[in-house]
Chains A and B, each alone.
Chain A
Amino acid sequence: MSWISGVGLTPFGKHPGRSTLDLMSDAAAAALADAGLERRDVDGLICGYSTTLPHLMLSTLFSEHFGLEPRYAHAIQIGGASGFAMAMAAHLVVESGAAKHILVVAGENRLTGQSRDAAVQTLAQVGHAVYEVPLGAIIPAYYALVASRYIHQFGHSERDLAELAVLMRAHACANPGAQFGEPITVEDVLASKPIASPLKLLDCCPVSDGGAAFVVSRDPTDVSRVRILGAGQAHTHQHVSAVASLTQFGAEASSREALGQARVELEDCDYAAIYDSFTITLAILLEEIGLAPRGGAGRLAREGHFSPSGRMPLNTHGGLLSYGHCGVGGAMAHLVEAQLQLSSRAGKRQAGSPRLALLHADGGVLSSHVSLVLEAAD
């Protein structure tokens, strides 16, 4: 067992002039303050990567910059799932006794630190350099291929997918840190600029600057008592050309592992934090995990099921789609929000009194999956 003893999150959007290390430092300082810890208390550091600051040793680069001398440190890279993989690694390390307080941190000036084309081309490299990238494929195209097959089999309309974008925007409107704060309608999503059919601009998360951090501790602190009960992973492929099926991924196996470790059932969960890089990503993950019936994610969103007052509040901070996506910190924002919800600290976004949260993220093109189960302790 491990405890998420503090969380920190910057606003996402444009932070002109702020570097990767600046944004990591902002988030890390906020997480330490939240946990009531000093730099000297931190004996472990796990970070991710930054596309605007490629480095062989980001964990020690950051430690030196921020003023840490951890006994344990390294970086992790599995795309969008990195943040939850970092949480899982921290959980396992503190359980092993190798560290007491691990700072998990990410940040990146992905929006203002490079050109739009540079960001698009860097992200496209999760595709195959020889067999896919030369065809003009970009990240939305890989997911759009998945969308075309998934929709072909399960019958979603583009309107169903749009409901998920509308939901995330509604949540973001209650969150001053979100990149986007203007409400949108299904019609707005359908009328937005085509990117890669069936995905339009508002089906896609933005590129953002931002930072996120949390502290994973061996023992609970007085501030907030939220613990990691279970964690699981599944890695089934790298490239969309090499997936056996575009309608069955690793999300089910990964979430089943995490729930099994936690000794709870999916039905026991009352908060969900699910990766939403595209509306289709969110639909597939919700449906494969079992949080929505096949083909039914959009309908449940429309009916209020995933709203703060609904049966299964989902990404109440606004998700990647509307809070924003700064790389590794993107999924970490989902975890930060889950921790705030479970400790009843989400302010006007508070969704009742959730006790048990399921978190899930994917990296690549639904290639790497990481699931976590968090619990509010008494």
Chain B
Amino acid sequence: MTSGDPIRDWTQGEAAIAYQHCGACGAVWYFRREFCPRCGTREPATLQAGGRGTVYAQTLVHRAPSEALRSRVPYLIVLVDMEEGFRMMGQGDARLAISDRVLARFEWFGDTLVPYFRKREE
């Protein structure tokens, strides 16, 4: 990502999911960096994801990490394989199961806007 990159995502308070792509080797990944972790090429493209994916793993959390979040349990945490080819963690509808096809929206969790996945029908 170069300075002044217009793509902002939920980790910066925007209702969006961003990922990165290396034009040199084709690698796709989620955690933002200034270089490709596979081939080292600098200034990878930062792109906005469409929010569609498939549930890879899920857990319903009953034990909150802090007093402030105690009222939110239970909440579902998912790993989702996104259509663009990267995997991400999000929250989701408690009824989600592995292999469900999902779409991301955004919801407040404490004072953070987080990706929240729901089942999509097609």
A and B together in one complex: yes
Q: A131-B89, A145-B57, A197-B59 are known contacts. Are A136 and B79 too (CB-CB below 8 A)?
A: no
- B35 contacts across to A, CB distance below 8 A: none
- A141 contacts across to B, CB distance below 8 A: 59, 61, 77
Is there contact, CB below 8 Å, between B31 and A136? Answer: no
Contact partner of A135 (CB less than 8 A), chosen from B29, B58, B67, B89, is B89
- B67 contacts across to A, CB distance below 8 A: 117
- A197 contacts across to B, CB distance below 8 A: 59-60, 62
Contact partner of B98 (CB less than 8 A), chosen from A121, A138, A152, A241, is A152
Interface extent on A, as a size class? 20 to 34
Q: Is A196 an interface residue (CB 8 A)?
A: yes
Q: Which residue of B lies closest to A132 (CB)?
A: B89
- A198 contacts across to B, CB distance below 8 A: 59
Contact partner of B56 (CB less than 8 A), chosen from A149, A195, A242, is A149
Q: Is B30 an interface residue (CB 8 A)?
A: yes
Q: Is B69 an interface residue (CB 8 A)?
A: yes
Complex CA distance for A138 and B63, rounded to whole angstroms:
8
Is there contact, CB below 8 Å, between A138 and B61? Answer: yes
Is there contact, CB below 8 Å, between A134 and B112? Answer: yes
Q: Is A111 an interface residue (CB 8 A)?
A: no
Complex CA distance for A246 and B87, rounded to whole angstroms:
12
Query: Smallest CB–CB gap between B48 and chain A, Å?
Result: 16
Is there contact, CB below 8 Å, between A131 and B60? Answer: no
Query: Smallest CB–CB gap between A196 and chain B, Å?
Result: 5
- The A-B contact count (CB < 8 A) is 103
Complex CA distance for A344 and B56, rounded to whole angstroms:
46
Q: Which of A215-243 contact B (CB under 8 A)?
A: 239-242
Is there contact, CB below 8 Å, between A124 and B109? Answer: no
Q: Encode B40-52 as 1/0 by CB contact (under 8 A) with A.
A: 0000000000000
Contact partner of B58 (CB less than 8 A), chosen from A124, A148, A199, A241, is A148
Complex CA distance for A131 and B11, rounded to whole angstroms:
7
Q: A145-B57, A240-B89, A241-B30 are known contacts. Are A136 and B62 too (CB-CB below 8 A)?
A: no
- A194 contacts across to B, CB distance below 8 A: 60, 62, 74
Q: Which residue of B lies closest to A127 (CB)?
A: B89
Is there contact, CB below 8 Å, between B65 and A136? Answer: yes
- A144 contacts across to B, CB distance below 8 A: 59, 61
Is there contact, CB below 8 Å, between A149 and B60? Answer: no
Q: Is B1 an interface residue (CB 8 A)?
A: no
Complex CA distance for A62 and B58, rounded to whole angstroms:
42
Q: Is B88 an interface residue (CB 8 A)?
A: yes
- A132 contacts across to B, CB distance below 8 A: 89
Q: Encode B102-122 as 1/0 by CB contact (under 8 A) with A.
A: 000000011010100000000
Complex CA distance for A132 and B63, rounded to whole angstroms:
16
Query: Smallest CB–CB gap between B55 and chain A, Å?
Result: 9
Complex CA distance for A131 and B33, rounded to whole angstroms:
13
Q: Is A128 an interface residue (CB 8 A)?
A: yes
Q: Which of A138-178 contact B (CB under 8 A)?
A: 138, 140-141, 144-149, 152
- Which of A138, A144, A148, A194 gathers the greatest number of chain B CB atoms within 10 Å? A148
Complex CA distance for A239 and B63, rounded to whole angstroms:
20
Q: Which residue of A lies closest to B115 (CB)?
A: A135
Is there contact, CB below 8 Å, between A149 and B57? Answer: yes
Closest 7 A-B residue pairs measured CB to CB?
A144-B59, A149-B57, A145-B57, A197-B60, A194-B62, A134-B112, A196-B59
25 contacts between A and B (CB under 8 A): A117-B66, A120-B65, A124-B65, A128-B89, A131-B30, A131-B31, A134-B11, A134-B109, A136-B61, A136-B91, A138-B63, A141-B59, A145-B57, A145-B59, A148-B57, A149-B56, A149-B79, A193-B62, A195-B63, A196-B60, A196-B77, A197-B62, A240-B79, A241-B88, A246-B56
